Structure 1
Amino acid sequence: MLFKFQKHLSENLPFLREKKLLLAISGGIDSIVLAQLLRQSGYAVSLAHCNFNLRGSESDGDEQFVRNFAAENNLEVFVTHFDTERFAQDNKLSIQLAARQLRYIWFHQLLEENNLDFILTAHHLDDNLETFLINFTRGTGLEGLTGIPVQNDKIVRPLLKFSREEIQNFASENKIEWREDSSNASDKYLRNKLRHDIVPILKSLNSSFLNSFQDTLSHLNQSKSLAEDASVLVYKQVVTEKENQKFFRLFDLKRLPNYEAYLFEWLRPFGFTAWKDISNLTEAQSGKFILSDKFRLLKDRDFLILEPILEKDERIYEIEDDAGIDFPIKLKLETVFQSDKTSNPAAIYVDKEKLKFPLTVRKWQEGDYFCPAGIDGKKKVSKYFKDEKFSLSEKENTWLLVSDQEIVWIIGKRQDRRFYSKNNTTPILKIALL
């Protein structure tokens, strides 16, 4: 296995040579074997061990074993302790996901603080198969069936070509000692159930099953590459980008065969994973939306609009007499002698004596109303938004200029007639949106 490993690194991961490597080591057979292979191949490697405090004295025994291994082989070792259960509870995560987040945050900190180049993990071919089956049983797209990547930015997995059997044989032949994690024998987790019950059956049906699986992964990754190329070309025909928003034209989108697949591929990098919800949104009424952690996908008439979720600004900003304001929007106040009769939505002319300072700038609230020109009485701001076909994001980003609880201006859109200046008005105040 040593020669095969060295050949694999030379042909497929040549960039690791002469780099400073950080190996995630648990004390189990996979990471210990990888450490030995790297050491015997002349790579500069440091070790990083996480004590998750989940198995009592067994976790402490793993830590001491790794410390001893590092000392015996003259390797630098970093060790940290986590209160994994508390972190999982506080962040509403499973124990497995909590442990994963904790260790990778720490690994990347170690890279930065110690000027190291790459994180190495000991994932192998059987791990890849189990991950494939987990995704398959839960339902997934092509992305979930292409396996664990050999490299993901700073994370590299040199053992992905090697089976668990090869690793065990190498350990046996070289009399390598390791720690056995008792949780691996439990069927509490889906991965272990697949490992103990399903994978042996699959291997018994085909003696070359793992080789066939590798070939399948290769084919799927090639198909994925073709799909990604097509996705880039079609994207330009369907999507318009404006500032921090992406507009998906539904007419052009629905003309595509299998348009849901394109849409899912474009949205997946933004954290959207629910195929059915995304597909249903294309037929939903305007105003409906779905959310990922950081983005919103909104149906607005003939478009789907992708935009970041912004924290709603509920604050009220005051404007003193003629002072103007620079944040959250920029308004300039200027006393003038006459109104400009040209239509300009970015400026209004008001009777200054009808204003009560300080003026305020705020977002609209339920129940707000104003008195627009051309109609008798008043009109709810929400009704104005609906009549003008404002999208949800346009509503959220519209500011009001208010005087003593009365709306003076839906800024940049519509002025309230109660504050109009007349020919004989003195003084006239010009309020301009810059």
Structure 2
Amino acid sequence: MLQKIQQHLERNFSFIKGKRLLLAVSGGIDSMVLLSICKKLQLDVGVAHCNFQLRGSESETDARFVEEKANVLQIPFFLQVFSTESYAGEQKLSIQLAARKLRYDWFNTLLIQEHYDFIVTAHHLDDQIETFLINLSRGTGLEGLVGIPAQNGNIIRPLLEISRAEIEVYAKENHITWREDASNASDKYVRNRIRHHVVPVLKEINPSFLTSFQNTIAHLQQASHLVIESSEMVFEKVVIIEEDTLKINCKKILQYKNYKTYLYQWLKDYGFTAWEDIYSLVEAQSGKYIFSPNHLLLKDRDYLLLSPKKNREEKEVYYIEKEVKNLKFPLNVTLCQTDNILEPTNNSIFVDQNKLSFPLEIRKKREGDYFYPFGMNGKKKLSKYFKDEKYSLLDKEKQWLLTSNNEIVWVIGRRVDKRFLADLKTQKIVKIELK
């Protein structure tokens, strides 16, 4: 098996040559075999062990066991003790999810602090099968069936092509000792029930089940790559990116038979879960929307607009005192005295200082707002101006106004109020510019 692992590393992980590897070692047979193999291949490794304090004195014994093995092999050893149950309660997570988050957060911290390049875990072929069956039993898409990736960012899993049976044979032949986790024998967890009762039946039905499963995973991964490539090509045709907003053209996306798959691919990383509602949104009336924890998906005319949710702690009003020359937030705005008057543009206006009441305010729209747009006749309600200019609902929410004594001086970046404009008789001209 050593040769098989070595060939697998050379074929799929040649980039780790000369890199520093942090091994996640629990003390179980799979991680102890991984440690032995890495040592025999003379890789530059360190050992990280987590004590989750879930099994009383057994957890303490596991930690001492792994530390002793690391010391014998003269390998750096790192230990972290977690209050897993308390953390799970505070974060409202299951014990398994809490342990996973604690574990990987610590591993990534170690990578930085101790200058390691990759985290190496001992997941093997049987873990692949169990994960596949768990996801299948719960209902999943293609993404849930492609298995555990051999590499995920800075995490690599070199044993994924090795079965548990092969690991056990290698451990016995090489006299490797390990710690047996008593909880592995319990049927309390879904994974254990699948391991003890489902997988043995599948192996009995098909003696070549492991090989067949590997082939199936390979085919699913190829199909997944096709979906990703296709979604990227369609994205270029139907999606526009404007600052922090994605605009998905509903008419164009509906031309694709598998448009739901594309929407899922584009939106799955934004925390949405109500997929049928999202698919219905494509043909919904304007103004309908769906929230995820951090994003808003809004139907606006012919588009779905995806944008970050407004920070509710964001100040609604920003003040500009008379002596202020530059405001950095929420917009980069400068004010300066000048003797020249130019035609107003989207990014600069020239106003009469004597017509301004300080402090000026930068704020969002309010009910009843109106102004006298430069280049137009008479006054206009801001809501009517937005409609005439074909603002989307998100555009309206994002538009900043410069006001004086609660009167609009400038729809910033768009249109100035002609009442405040400087003329040839103006004694104090102020240039206000959006950088």
Change (3 A) 1:57 1:392: farther
- Measured in 1, the distance between the counterparts of 2:221 and 2:274 equals 22
- Measured in 1, the distance between the counterparts of 2:45 and 2:428 equals 75
SS in 1 for 2:128: helix
Aligned to 1:62: 62
Q: What's the Cα RMSD here?
A: 3.2
- Measured in 1, the distance between the counterparts of 2:427 and 2:281 equals 52
SS in 2 for 1:390: coil
Following TM superposition, by how much is the alpha carbon of 1:69 offset from its aligned partner in structure 2, in angstroms? 1.7
- What runs of 5+ residues in structure 1 fail to find an aligned partner? none
Q: Pairwise mapping of residues 285-324 of structure 1 onto structure 2 (< 5 A)?
A: 285-309=285-309, 311=311, 313-321=314-322, 323-324=324-325
- Measured in 2, the distance between the counterparts of 1:11 and 1:346 equals 56
- Measured in 1, the distance between the counterparts of 2:323 and 2:93 equals 53
Preserved contact between residue 25 and residue 49 of structure 1 (Cα < 8 Å): yes
Q: Pairwise mapping of residues 375-390 of structure 1 onto structure 2 (< 5 A)?
A: 379=381, 381=382, 385=386, 388-390=389-391
Change (3 A) 1:219 1:400: same
- Measured in 1, the distance between the counterparts of 2:379 and 2:7 equals 83
Q: Pairwise mapping of residues 103-142 of structure 1 onto structure 2 (< 5 A)?
A: 103-142=103-142
Preserved contact between residue 19 and residue 117 of structure 1 (Cα < 8 Å): yes
Preserved contact between residue 320 and residue 327 of structure 2 (Cα < 8 Å): no
- What runs of 5+ residues in structure 2 fail to find an aligned partner? none
Following TM superposition, by how much is the alpha carbon of 1:123 offset from its aligned partner in structure 2, in angstroms? 0.3
Preserved contact between residue 29 and residue 171 of structure 2 (Cα < 8 Å): yes
SS in 2 for 1:261: helix
Change (3 A) 1:371 1:41: closer
- The alignment status of 1:332 with 2:335, answered yes or no, reads yes
Aligned to 1:393: 394
What amino acid does structure 2 have at the position aligned with 1:307? S
Following TM superposition, by how much is the alpha carbon of 1:389 offset from its aligned partner in structure 2, in angstroms? 4.2
Preserved contact between residue 401 and residue 410 of structure 1 (Cα < 8 Å): yes
- Measured in 2, the distance between the counterparts of 1:198 and 1:66 equals 31
Aligned to 1:84: 84
Change (3 A) 1:16 1:401: closer
Change (3 A) 1:428 1:116: closer
- Measured in 2, the distance between the counterparts of 1:259 and 1:169 equals 49
Aligned to 1:359: 360
Preserved contact between residue 412 and residue 433 of structure 1 (Cα < 8 Å): no
Paired residues in the alignment total 429
Change (3 A) 1:187 1:301: farther
- After alignment, is 34-43 or 319-328 more displaced? 319-328
Following TM superposition, by how much is the alpha carbon of 1:122 offset from its aligned partner in structure 2, in angstroms? 0.5
- After alignment, is 122-131 or 160-169 more displaced? 160-169
What amino acid does structure 2 have at the position aligned with 1:393? L
Q: Pairwise mapping of residues 26-425 of structure 1 onto structure 2 (< 5 A)?
A: 26-272=26-272, 274-309=274-309, 311=311, 313-321=314-322, 323-328=324-329, 329=331, 330-332=333-335, 334=337, 344=345, 353=354, 355-365=356-366, 367-370=367-370, 372=372, 379=381, 381=382, 385=386, 388-413=389-414, 419=419
| TM-score normalised to structure 1 length | 0.86
Following TM superposition, by how much is the alpha carbon of 1:346 offset from its aligned partner in structure 2, in angstroms? 5.0
Following TM superposition, by how much is the alpha carbon of 1:386 offset from its aligned partner in structure 2, in angstroms? 5.4
CA deviation map 1:386-431 (0-9, x unaligned): 56543233223212223334444433445568x4569898667666
SS in 2 for 1:112: helix
What amino acid does structure 1 have at the position aligned with 2:301? R
- Measured in 2, the distance between the counterparts of 1:383 and 1:190 equals 59
Change (3 A) 1:239 1:232: same
Following TM superposition, by how much is the alpha carbon of 1:382 offset from its aligned partner in structure 2, in angstroms? 5.4
- Measured in 1, the distance between the counterparts of 2:423 and 2:43 equals 85
